[in-house]
Amino acid sequence: MFHTADPKDIKEGKITDIYFARTIEILKAKKADKWVKAEFITKNLPSGWTWGVLSGIEECVELLNDLKVSVRAMKEGTIFEPLQPVLELEGMYTEFGLYETALLGLICQASGIATKAARCKKLAGERLVISFGARRMHPILAPMIERSAYIGGCDGVAVAKSAELIGEEPMGTMPHALIIILGDTVEALKAFHEVIDPKIKRVALVDTFGDEKFEAIAAAEALGKQLFAVRLDTPSSRRGNFLRILEEVRWELDLRGYEDVKIFVSGGIDEDSIPELNRFVDAYGIGTSISNAPVIDFAMDIIEVEGRPLAKRGKMSGSKRVFRCIKCHADKMIPFQKTATRCECGGMLEEILVPFMKEGRLLDKLPRPKAVREYVLSQMRRLPVPPTAVGKS
180 φ, ψ to 5°? -65, -40
Single-letter amino acid, residue 85:
P
345 binds Zn ion (CB under 5 A): yes
Q: Which of 105, 294, 318, 347 binds Zn ion (CB under 5 A)?
A: 347
For residues 265 and 325, give the distance between their C-alpha atoms in angstroms, rounded to a whole number. 39
Give the nearer residue to Zn ion in terms of CB position, either 245 or 343: 343
Which residue, 80 or 323, is less far from Zn ion as judged by CB?
A: 323
Contacting Zn ion (CB under 5 A), which of 118, 343, 357, 372? 343
Q: How buried is 159 (Cβ within 10 angstroms: 0-12 exposed, 13-18 middle, 19+ buried)?
A: buried
Total chain residues near Zn ion (CB under 5 A): 7
Give the nearest distance from C-beta 73 to Zn ion in angstroms.
Answer: 23
32 binds Zn ion (CB under 5 A): no
**CB closer to Zn ion out of 347 and 391:** 347
What is the smallest separation between the CB atom of 350 and Zn ion, expressed in angstroms? Answer: 11
> Cβ of residue 346: shortest distance to Zn ion, in angstroms?
7
Ramachandran class of 228: left when φ > 0, alpha when ψ lies in -120 to 50, beta otherwise: alpha
Q: Toward Zn ion, which CB reaches closer, 294 or 347?
A: 347
Q: What are phi and psi of 25, to 5 degrees?
A: -60, -45
Per-position x/- string for 290-329, each x denoting binding to Zn ion as judged by CB under 5 A, each - no binding: -----------------------------------x-xx-
Closer residue to Zn ion in complex, CB, 244/327: 327
Q: Which stretch binds Zn ion (CB under 5 A): 27-35, 199-207, 275-283, 336-344?
A: 336-344
Write down the least CB distance from residue 343 to Zn ion, Å.
3
Of 345 and 363, the one with the shorter C-beta distance to Zn ion is 345
Our CB check for Zn ion shows the closer of 26 and 328 to be 328
Backbone angles phi, psi at 380, to 5 degrees: -65, -30
Please write down the HEC assignment for all residues of the chain.
CCCCCCHHHHHCCCCCCHHHHHHHHHHHHCCCCCEEEEEEECCCCHHHCCCEECCCHHHHHHHHCCCCCEEEECCCCCEECCCCCCEEEEEEHHHHHHHHHHHHHHHHHHHHHHHHHHHHHHHHCCCEEEECCHHHCCHHHHHHHHHHHHHHCCCEECCHHHHHHHCCCCCCCCCHHHHHHHCCHHHHHHHHHHHCCCCCCEEEECCCCCCHHHHHHHHHHHHHHHEEEEEECCCHHHHCCHHHHHHHHHHHHHHCCCCCCEEEEECCCCHHHHHHHCCCCCEEEECHHHHCCCCCCCEEEEEEECCEECCCCCCCCCCEEEEEECCCCCEEEEECCCCCCECCCCCEEEECCEEEEECCEECCCCCCHHHHHHHHHHHHCCCCCCCCHHHHC
Q: How far is the CB of 98 from Zn ion (least distance, A)?
A: 41
- 142 lies in the site for Zn ion, by CB under 5 A: no
In this chain, which stretch among 4-12, 91-99, 148-156, 345-353 interacts with Zn ion, using CB under 5 A? 345-353
Residue whose CB is less far from Zn ion, 4 or 50: 50
Q: Which 154-173 residues touch Zn ion, going by CB under 5 A?
A: none
Min dist. Cβ of residue 237 to Zn ion (A): 52
As measured in angstroms, the least distance from the Cβ of 378 to Zn ion is: 17
- Minimum distance of Zn ion from residue 379's CB (angstroms): 15
**Closer to Zn ion by Cβ: residue 330 or 389:** 330
Cβ distance to Zn ion smaller for residue 328 or 362: 328
End-to-end CA distance of the chain: 49
How far apart are CB 331 and Zn ion at their closest, in Å?
A: 9
* Closest distance to Zn ion from the beta carbon of 327 (Å): 5
- Residue range at the interface with Zn ion (CB under 5 A); choices 86-94, 233-241, 340-348, 366-374: 340-348
Per CB under 5 A, residues contacting Zn ion are 325, 327-328, 330, 343, 345, 347
